[in-house]
Amino acid sequence: MNFRKTQWCDENQTILHCPVCQFEYVHLMKITPVQSEDRLGVVLEFECEEGHQFSSLLHNHKGYMVSEITNE
């Protein structure tokens, strides 16, 4: 995911940026749980204020937490 520090972030905070235009005003639009035989995860759908839509699939794979970004 495209996270960056900004001057107003606390020590442990970063801001999510749009992967298309790098704009930092991004809104969470939808959360969808996903499950298969061997995986459990969640899809987070976002839209930036420039209108770009993207999503992030967070899931487990062999003990790792994997994040996949998809531009729509």
**pLDDT tens track for 57-69:** 999 888 888 888 8
Q: Residue 42 pLDDT more than 90? A: yes
Residue position matching structure tokens 């704009």? 23
**Mean pLDDT, to the nearest integer, of 6-23?**
82
pLDDT value of position 36: 84
pTM equals 0.79
What local confidence, expressed as pLDDT, does residue 44 receive?
95
Label residue 1 by pLDDT band (50, 70, 90): low
